[in-house]
Amino acid sequence: MGRTSKRHPAGTGAETLSVGSAGSKAGCFKAGIYARLSADMDERKNESIEVQIEIAKKFVDEWNHSNNDRIEVAGCYTDLGKTGTNFNRDGFKRLMQDVRLGDINCVIVKDLSRFGRNYLEAGNYIEKIFPFLGVRFIAVADGYDTGADGNDAKQMASEIRNLVNDMYAKDFSLKARSSLAQRRKEGAYVGGPAPYGYRAEWEGRLRKLVPDENTADIVRYIYKKFIETESYKSVTDDLNNRKINPPAIYRKTGEVYCPPGADYKGWDKSGVERIIKSDTYSGRLVQGKTSITARNESNRIHKPEDEWVVKEEAHEPLIGTETAEKSAGVRRKLRERAESHEHPTEGCLIGENIFDKVLYCGVCGRKMTRHSYVKKYEDGTRKRMGGYFCLNGGSTKTDACPSSNRISNIELTNILFSLFAIEFTENLKKQKTYVETAREIVRQKKAELERNLRSAAHTKERLDGEESDKYMAYRSGRLSQKEYVAYKMQKEDRVRELERKERQFREQASSLERDGETYLKAVRALLKWKRNIPLKNEQVLTKELIETLIEKIYVYPGKRVEVLFTFSDSLLESAGKTSKNAPPLDEIPGSSVSGIGKDGGAE
């Protein structure tokens, strides 16, 4: 397992560490002190982090007093409540980021077990990654220093120590799982923050749930309101109307109600549903539904129900048996009602969401959400109906969009057809001439920009030649230094201005090319759409047509629509456009529309 290496550990303690070749070459090391603690459930354990940092700082002070090469502490990196069996830790990631940026070239830990308990990964960092990055590694209590002299026997000792740490971590993990399972069976709450309505307190060696006097009555009210209304949404709206803070905000601020004037972030339906469906509030504790892996703490494995740990009467219930049974009955009723709903969709497919990338709420800026249903007529025929709405519109959870904002597919399509009729119909009648005119405009403007670019380049060349003459005059004494400096500064200002204009000309050329191609593509898309209109003259929009012509559509309450086109107004004006307004409002009952070019100017 041991290997020949130029890096060797020092003696058994901090006193024996001596100057190594790496230290001599570097002269001064920028050190990052790393400290880790596995658990954060006891406040006294938090002191361990401070103790680790103090041990490392004391070592640095002693080193600087007895050695020529100095170590400066550039920063401290900590991970509290993080396992040593993997390196997926925020503090360690910040340390490695600073190492890669070159801000840290020395890592100091109290001992190897604080660095990590995974033998292979810890060895990979110490033996490969750190040497490759030119980083010195010091474990104070283990007397290990990759920048100090040593021997192969001590190198092997450090590898054995890493292996022991790895075995300890696996043994401890097994014991911890057994202890966790036992505490669950005894009714201890081993989760994270206590559920809303409870506080977690220690009773001896067990962590128990006790009612939170601030929120327990709100939980009871939630159940009562749910039984009365038989609706999760009604309960959610009621809580939001009362400005009661949701669980996450309450845990963060300790405030049950949102203070007057503060930004309110309310409940959503899923939060209410979680409380209603939880067995915790009836005194029944269900735990062990998931487990995590040591290698990836974020990867949760869902366990089968027969492996869950259930403890009856584990803590004081917030609701009685009668309330729990009534709530379960309402949930069962809602579930049966949902399962009994018929959704006759055969032959009425939803179809493509053609406005997916362009449709936004004009009030809050949120993307509009599509809804759809099948309407059945008296003669037995069915038709897919639908439209779009803003999730924030009229919501009790946020004040960003106070009014309901909805528009149907039919209404939106009719508005766009009216706008297209004004934008393009006249030009489509003389399509060949219009396309050729647009191309000629692009060609002429592009040629003009190229002339401007050549002129700027010639002016810069002339200034360079003029500067040579001025310099020769200065060197020969025909021009004073003051005059030469004034000329030089003036010339540099002119060059910077010319370079600015060159960039501007190139950006205009790119924009012109893009706008020209976009508009020609739009015309071709409209022609294709016009040719493909069915014989019964049914107008159909396509996703390709919408995304080619339109950058964004903003919908406002009252079915008012604002359209931002992908091409600029200047090109249209040059090609003979005169107006971008839709028909008068009385021609489109209950709606209004305006068109805006890419540059944002409405006409």
Q: What pLDDT, in 10s, does the model give residues 155-171?
A: 545 555 555 555 555 55
Asked if the model's pLDDT at residue 113 lies above 60, the reply is yes
Query: Does residue 121 belong to any structural domain of this protein?
Result: yes
* Residue in 207, 204, 218 with CA at minimum distance from that of residue 246: 218
Domain-located, residue 398:
no
Picking from 75, 67, 76, the residue whose alpha carbon sits closest to that of residue 26 is: 67
**157 in the same domain as 46:** yes
506-546 pLDDT, tens digit each: 887 777 666 666 666 666 666 665 555 544 344 567 777 78
Average pLDDT over residues 16-37: 64
First to last CA, the chain: 78
Helix (H) or strand (E) holding 216: helix 216-229
Residue 142 forms part of a structural domain: yes
Tokens for 566?
Answer: 């992908």
How confident is the model at residue 132, as a pLDDT?
84
Question: Which of 339, 357, 375 is the last residue in one of the domains?
Answer: 339
Domain boundary pick from 339, 361, 376 = 339
Q: Are residues 39 and 132 in the same domain?
A: yes
Residue 427, pLDDT > 70, answer no
Sign of the CA dihedral running 249, 253, 257, 263: negative
Tell me the pLDDT band of 38, cut-offs 50, 70 and 90: confident
Provide the residue range defining the domain that includes 522. Answer: 432-531
The tally of domains found in the chain comes to 3
Task: Report pLDDT digits (tens) over 170-213.
Answer: 555 555 566 666 766 777 888 778 899 999 888 887 888 999 99
Distances (CA, A) of 338 to 234, 330, 334, 341, 527: 17, 12, 6, 5, 46
CATH code assigned at 227: 3.90.1750.20
Considering the domain architecture, whether residues 165 and 202 belong to the same structural domain is answered as no
Q: Within this chain, do residues 203 and 160 fall inside the same structural domain, yes or no?
A: no
Q: Above 70 in pLDDT, residue 247?
A: yes
Does the structure show a pLDDT above 50 at 8?
no
Q: Are residues 83 and 143 in the same domain?
A: yes
Q: What is the mean pLDDT of the chain?
A: 75
Question: Residue 27 maps to which CATH number?
Answer: 3.40.50.1390
Cβ neighbours, 10 Å, residue 418: 16
Q: Are residues 212 and 108 both part of a single domain?
A: no
pLDDT value for 104: 93
Q: Phi/psi class of residue 558: alpha, beta or left (left: φ > 0; alpha: ψ in -120 to 50)? A: left
The reply to whether 119 falls in a domain is: yes
> Of 486, 507, 531, at which residue does a domain stop?
531
For residue 395, report the phi and psi dihedrals to the nearest 5 degrees. -75, 145
Q: What's the confidence (pLDDT) of residue 595?
A: 54
Residues 118 and 243 in one domain: no
| pLDDT, mean of residues 251-272 | 89
pLDDT, residue 594, reads 54
Going through 152-212 in order, the beta strands assigned E by DSSP cover 198-203, 206-211
Same structural domain for residues 224 and 137? no
Whether residue 244 is contained in a domain is answered as yes
Give the mean pLDDT of 338-350. 63
- Please say if the pLDDT value at position 490 is more than 90: no
Question: pLDDT of 470-482, one tens digit each?
Answer: 888 888 888 888 8
pLDDT at residue 431 above 60? no
Residue 404 resides in a domain: no
* Domain contains 504: yes
Task: Look at residue 603 in the predicted model and tell me its pLDDT.
Answer: 35
In this prediction, residues 554-558 reach a mean pLDDT of 90
What DSSP assignment string belongs to 469-484? HHHHHHHHTSS-HHHH
Looking at 12-21, 118-127, 438-447, 550-559, which range is the least confident one? 12-21
* Distance, CA of 53 to CA of 37 (rounded, Å): 12
Residues 306 and 222 in one domain: yes
Do 284 and 146 fall into the same domain?
no
How does pLDDT run across 46-84, given as a tens digit for each residue? 458 888 999 999 999 999 998 888 899 999 999 988 877
Residue 554 located in a structural domain: no
Residues 204 and 104 reside in one and the same domain: no
- In this prediction the pTM is 0.44
Residues 139 and 28 in one domain: yes
